[in-house]
Amino acid sequence: MKRKIHINKVNYESIDYKEIKNFFESEGFLVFLEEDPLLRLDHKKLNEIALFFAKSRILNTFKRELNENPLNIEVEYEKRNLISPNRKKGIIYDGYKLVKIYRSFISKELVNIKDFVHFFLTDQLISTFSDRWHLRVIIFSFPVLISIPGIIYAPAKDRDYYISSSLGHLPVYKEYYLTEKDRRITKIICAYIIQGIFFYNSILEKKEFEFCNDRHCLLYNSHYQRELIEIQFNLNFCDKHKKEWKKIVTLKNF
Amino acid sequence: MFEKVSEKDVSKAITVSFLRMFESVIESDVIVVGGGPAGLAASRELAKEGFNTLVIERNNYLGGGFWIGGFFMNKVTFRAPSQEYLREIGIRFEEASPGLYVTDGAQACSKLIAAASDAGVKFLQLTKFDDVVIREENGNAKVAGVVVNWSPIEGLPRQITCVDPIALESKFVIDASGHDAFVVKALEQRGHIKIKGVGAMWVEASEDAVVEYTGEVFPGLIVAGMAVAETFGLPRMGPTFGAMLLSGKRAAEIIIEKLKTYVKV
What is the model's pLDDT at position B67? Answer: 92
Q: Is the pLDDT of residue B139 over 90?
A: no
* pLDDT tens per residue across span B152-169: 888 888 777 778 899 999
User: Which pLDDT score is estimated for B138?
Assistant: 81
DSSP string, B6-18: -HHHHHHHHHHHH
CB under 8 Å, gap of 24 or more: what pairs does A106-115 form?
A106/A6, A106/A143, A110/A6, A113/A142, A113/A200, A113/A203, A113/A204, A113/A254, A114/A204, A114/A253, A114/A254, A115/A3, A115/A4, A115/A253, A115/A254
Give the pLDDT of residue A209: 92
d(Cα A33, Cα B89) in Å, to the nearest integer? 48
A215 has a chain B CB within 8 A of its CB: no
Name the least confident of A171-185, B104-118, B213-227. A171-185
**pLDDT for residue B201 is more than 60:** no
pLDDT at position A180: 84
Distance from CA of A198 to the nearest CA of B (A): 33
Which residue in B97, B199, B212 is closest to A61 by CB distance?
A: B199
B100-104/B94-97 β-pairing: antiparallel
Contact B233 A57 (CB under 8 A): yes
Give every strand in the sheet of A116-122, ordered side by side: A29-34, A3-8, A116-122, A144-147, A138-139
pLDDT of residue B237: 66
Averaged pLDDT score across all residues of chain B: 91
8 Å CB contact of A73 and B100: no
What mean pLDDT is predicted for residues B58-75?
Answer: 89
Q: What is the pLDDT of residues A133-167, one digit of tens each?
A: 999 999 999 999 999 999 999 998 887 777 776 66
SS3 state of residue A132: coil
Q: Which residue in B has a C-alpha nearest to residue A87's C-alpha?
A: B208
In chain A, what residues touch B197 (CB-CB under 8 Å)? 59-60
A78 touches B at CB < 8 Å = no
- Contact residues on chain B for A82, CB-CB shorter than 8 A: none
What is the percentage of chain B residues whose pLDDT exceeds 70? 94
CB atoms within 10 A of CB A235: 13
A218-254 confidence digits (pLDDT tens): 999 999 999 999 999 999 999 999 999 998 887 765 5
CB < 8 Å to B96, chain A = 168
Position B205 scores a pLDDT of 65
Residue type, A9: K
Lowest mean pLDDT across B86-100, B114-128, B131-145, B195-209: B195-209
Q: Do A88 and B199 touch (CB under 8 A)?
A: no
pTM of the model: 0.81
Check residue B47 and give its pLDDT.
98
- In order along its 254 residues, chain A shows pLDDT tens digits of 677 999 999 999 899 999 999 999 999 999 999 999 999 999 999 999 999 999 999 988 888 999 999 999 999 999 999 999 889 887 899 999 999 999 999 988 777 777 789 999 999 999 999 999 999 999 999 999 999 999 999 998 887 777 776 666 666 667 778 888 899 999 999 999 999 999 999 998 899 999 999 999 999 999 999 999 999 999 999 999 999 999 888 776 55
Can you state the angle between helices B242-260 and B203-213, rounded to 10 degrees?
10
CB B144 within 8 A of CB B133: yes
DSSP A222: -
Least confidently predicted of A118-127, B54-63, B71-80, B241-250: B71-80
Interface pTM (ipTM) of the complex? 0.73
What percent of chain A stands above pLDDT 70? 94
Q: What is the pLDDT at residue A236? A: 93
- Ranges of beta strands (E only) in chain A are 3-8, 29-34, 92-94, 116-122, 125-129, 133-136, 138-139, 144-147
Residue A88 to residue B196, Cβ atoms within 8 A: no
Residue A169 in contact with partner chain B when CB distance is under 8 A:
yes
Q: Among A148-152, B46-50, B131-135, B192-196, where is mean pLDDT lowest? A: B192-196
Q: What is the mean pLDDT of residues B248-262?
A: 93
Instruction: Assess whether pLDDT exceeds 80 at residue B200.
Output: no
Distance CA A91, CA A58 (A): 8
Would you state the pLDDT for residue B209? 86
